[in-house]
Amino acid sequence: MKAKATFYKKRIYPLVFMFAVTVFCILITSGLYLTTQDRAIANELSFTRRAILDAGGLAYTPTTEGIEKAYLEKVTVEDGYYTAQSSDGLRYILPVQGPGLWGTIAIMVGFEQDLSTFSGLAIVSQNETPGLGARIEEPWFTKQFQGKSSPFIFVNEGTAQAPNEIDAITGATRTSEYFRNLTNRAATDAKRIIRGE
């Protein structure tokens, strides 16, 4: 009897206990995941839509509803790109992605009608080093592209003046180089995809 009891205590009980804890934990997390799944998907959609609006330089109220309303009103989906009617004329918005230092950087680039002047730029996703490369997501950086046209030259942070110069990010040489390549490619891609050149 005693041997049986220790066997139970030593082998069976820990297993049963672990199993119970695992099942319980997974039930809780799964339940929560399933209940919030729709919301997470909606967020993702709203995020992409906002990037499109930002790139096109279109005005919107920064709430989920505001984004949806502005998007549905102004943006048309074309084959591989988007067009939008802004207050200063037609905008072409193109999703572009390319390598960053650590992972893929995905951006939305908005063009004015000449397809070389940027109307805006928004980051969809990036995985660069926090505090260094990840600063490409900061508004001061993305705003620089507005009204400028490619090919861009990246210069030291805080010294950009000419209409094709962009402030690079100090300490993130690599990310800046990748980003320069990406934005310059965006302009050629735009002409190819939209005009078929």
Partner 1 sequence: MAKSKVRKTFLEPLGKNNPVFVQILGICSTLAVTNKLQNTMVMVLGVMFTTALSSWTLSLLRNHIPSRIRMMVETMVIATFVIIVDIVLKAFYPEMWKQLGPYVGLIITNCIIMGRIEAFALQNKPMLSLVDGLASGLGYAYVLLAIAFVRELLGTGTLWGYQVLGSWWTNWSIMIMPPGGFFVLAIFIWIIRETIMKEEKA
Partner 2 sequence: MNGSIMPFAIFFASIFTGNILLTNYLGMCSFLSVSKELKTSTGLGVAVIFVMATTTPLNWLVYQYLLIPFGLEYLRFIVFIIVIAAFVQLTEMTIERYSEPLYQSLGIFLPLITVNCAILGVSLFMVIREYTFLTSFLFGLGSGIGWFIAIIAMAGIRQKLKNAKVPPGLEGPGITLIIAGFMAMAFMGFSGMIAIS
Using CB under 8 A, list all residues that contact partner 2.
Answer: 25-26, 29, 33, 98-104, 127, 129-132, 171-174, 177-178, 181, 185
By CB under 8 A, is residue 90 in contact with partner 1? no
Angstrom distance (rounded) from CA 60 to CA 101? 32
By CB under 8 A, is residue 76 in contact with partner 1? no
Helix (H, G, I), strand (E, B) or coil at 83: strand
Complex with partner 2: residue 30 or 164, whichever CB lies closer: 30
By CB under 8 A, is residue 155 in contact with partner 1? no
Angstrom distance (rounded) from CA 169 to CA 173? 7
Angstrom distance (rounded) from CA 118 to CA 98? 18
Q: Taking CB within 5 to 8 Å according to partner kind, which of partner 2, partner 1, none is near residue 103?
A: partner 2
Complex with partner 1: residue 67 or 190, whichever CB lies closer: 67
CA distances from residue 139 to 88, 121, 177 in whole angstroms, order as listed: 22, 10, 19
The single residue among 7, 8, 43, 143 that binds partner 1, judged by CB under 8 A, is: 43
8 A C-beta contact, residue 81 and residue 25: no
Stretch that binds partner 1, among 17-25, 81-89, 104-112, 174-182 (CB under 8 A): 17-25
The single residue among 63, 156, 164, 170 that binds partner 1, judged by CB under 8 A, is: 170
Q: Which residue has the tokens 């997501």?
A: 137
The single residue among 97, 125, 146, 188 that binds partner 1, judged by CB under 8 A, is: 125
Q: Where are the beta strands (DSSP E) in 27-147?
A: 75-77, 82-86, 89-99, 104-111, 118-125
8 A C-beta contact, residue 82 and residue 190: no
Complex with partner 2: residue 32 or 77, whichever CB lies closer: 32
Q: Which helix (H) or strand (E) covers residue 153, if one does?
A: strand 153-155
Structure tokens at 117: 């002047």
Residues that bind partner 1 (CB under 8 A): 9, 13-14, 17-18, 21-22, 25, 28-29, 32-33, 36, 39-40, 43-44, 46-47, 125, 127, 129-132, 135, 137, 157, 170-171
